[in-house]
C-alpha cells in the first residue's frame, strides 16, 4: 500500500486516491527517504522543483521496491499500473520471440525511467530484468497524471521522458540498420560513457553490468563478433579491457569510428 501520509498542499483528489491505491502487485514497501534527499534527484527529476513540490511528489512516489539480480521488475503482458525510476543498480529490457529467443531492447541506469512501454496498451510489452541487485521508486501513473495537472513542471518533465523513449528507440533502429559492427560497439561504449558521466562517474573507466551476449543482442551482433570487436579496439589502443571493466584510453579515436 502507499504511505498514508497526508499533506494539505496536495489536491484532495490525490489525498483520496493515495489512501486507497495499490502500488503494484509485487509488494512494494514504503520509502525510507524522499526525492529531496535522493542522490539521483538531479538526474530523474526537474531541477525547477521547490521544497513544497517535493513534499507533494513524495506523497505520490511513496514506495520503493528492491529487485535481486536476474529477477523481473515486471513481465510482458503484466497490467500497467506504475512507471519506475531506477534508484540503485541497472536493468535490461527484453522481448521474448515466439521461438524463445531473447532480444535486448535497452539498458537502464540509475536515475532513468522504466515501464513507459505500458502506457499505450495499458500492459507491458517487454520484461525488465535486474542486471544487479537494484532498487526502484514506484510511481503510480494515475497519481502522477493528477500531480502533473497541478505542477506544470512535472507535466513537462513527463513529456520529456516520453520523448526520450521515442528518441532512444529511433536511435536503436538507426544503430541496427545503418552501422557496421565497429560503429555499433563504438556508439554503445560512448553512450555508456556519456550516461555514466552525467551521474558523476568516470567517463573513461567503468564496469559493464551486462554480458557480452546481452550487448550483442542489443546491438544485433553475435557474441563472437562482439568479442572480436572488443579485442580489435584493444589492439588499436582505443580501450583496455579486464573482464567487465572498461577503460577508454582514446575517446576521440572511438568517436572517429
Task: Determine the angle formed by the axes of helices 12-20 and 141-150, rounding to 10 degrees.
Answer: 170
DSSP state of 123: B
Find the angle CA(182)-CA(184)-CA(189) to the nearest 5 degrees: 95
Q: Which domains does the chain have, with CATH numbers?
A: 12-172 (2.60.120.10), 179-256 (1.10.10.10)
CA 107 – CA 129 distance, rounded (Å): 10
Residues 111, 114: Cα–Cα separation, whole Å: 10
Sheet with 82-88, edge to edge strand ranges: 29-30, 63-67, 134-140, 82-88, 113-114
Provide the pairing of β-strand 205-207 with 134-140: unpaired
Residue 240 pLDDT? 96
pLDDT in tens, the chain (257 residues): 333 333 434 445 444 444 444 445 455 555 556 676 676 666 677 777 777 777 777 777 768 899 999 999 999 999 999 999 999 999 999 999 888 888 999 999 998 999 999 998 999 999 999 999 999 999 899 988 888 888 888 888 888 888 877 777 777 777 777 889 999 999 999 999 998 998 888 999 999 999 999 999 999 999 999 999 999 999 999 999 998 999 999 999 999 98
Q: Which of these, 72, 70, 69, lies nearest to 127 by C-alpha position?
A: 72
Q: How far apart are CA 40 and CA 45, in angstroms?
A: 8
3-state secondary structure 125-136: CCEEEECCCEEE
Three cell numbers at 240? 583496455
Residues β-bridged to residue 207: 245
What is the secondary structure of 58-87 as a DSSP string?
HHHS-EEEEE-TT-EEE-TTPBP-EEEEEE
CA distance to 33, 128, 134, 144, 172, per residue, from 29 (Å): 12, 19, 14, 18, 34
The DSSP secondary-structure symbol of 206 reads E
Half-sphere exposure of residue 233: CA atoms within 13 angstroms, side-chain side? 32
Residue 193 CB: number of other CB atoms within 10 A?
20
Helix axes 152-178, 181-197, angle to 10 degrees: 160
pLDDT of 67: 96
Quote the CA–CA distance of 216 and 108 in Å, as a whole number.
16
Half-sphere exposure of 173 (CA within 13 A, CB side): 6
Amino acid at each position: 500500500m502507499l504511505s498514508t501520509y497526508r499533506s494539505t498542499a496536495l489536491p484532495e483528489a490525490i489525498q483520496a486516491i493515495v489512501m486507497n491505491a495499490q502500488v503494484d502487485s509485487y509488494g512494494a514497501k514504503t520509502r525510507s527517504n524522499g526525492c529531496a534527499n535522493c542522490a539521483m534527484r538531479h538526474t530523474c527529476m526537474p531541477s525547477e522543483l521547490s521544497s513544497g513540490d517535493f513534499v507533494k511528489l513524495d506523497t505520490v512516489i511513496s514506495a520503493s521496491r528492491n529487485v535481486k539480480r536476474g529477477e523481473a521488475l515486471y513481465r510482458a503482458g503484466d497490467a500497467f499500473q506504475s512507471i519506475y525510476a531506477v534508484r540503485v543498480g541497472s536493468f535490461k529490457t527484453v522481448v521474448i520471440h515466439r521461438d524463445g529467443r531473447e532480444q535486448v531492447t535497452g539498458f537502464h541506469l540509475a536515475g532513468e525511467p522504466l515501464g513507459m512501454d505500458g502506457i499505450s496498451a495499458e500492459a507491458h510489452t517487454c520484461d525488465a530484468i535486474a542486471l544487479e541487485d537494484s532498487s526502484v521508486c514506484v510511481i503510480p501513473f494515475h497519481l502522477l497524471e493528477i500531480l502533473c495537472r497541478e505542477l506544470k513542471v512535472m507535466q513537462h518533465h513527463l513529456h520529456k521522458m516520453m520523448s526520450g523513449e521515442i528518441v532512444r528507440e529511433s536511435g536503436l533502429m538507426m544503430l541496427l540498420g545503418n552501422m557496421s559492427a565497429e560503429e555499433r560497439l563504438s556508439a554503445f561504449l560512448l553512450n555508456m560513457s556519456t550516461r555514466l558521466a552525467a551521474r558523476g562517474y568516470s567517463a573513461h573507466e567503468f564496469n559493464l553490468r551486462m554480458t557480452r551476449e546481452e550487448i550483442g543482442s542489443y546491438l544485433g551482433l553475435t557474441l563472437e563478433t562482439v568479442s572480436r570487436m572488443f579485442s580489435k579496439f584493444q589492439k588499436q589502443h582505443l580501450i583496455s579491457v579486464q573482464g567487465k571493466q572498461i577503460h577508454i584510453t582514446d575517446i576521440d579515436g572511438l568517436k572517429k569510428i
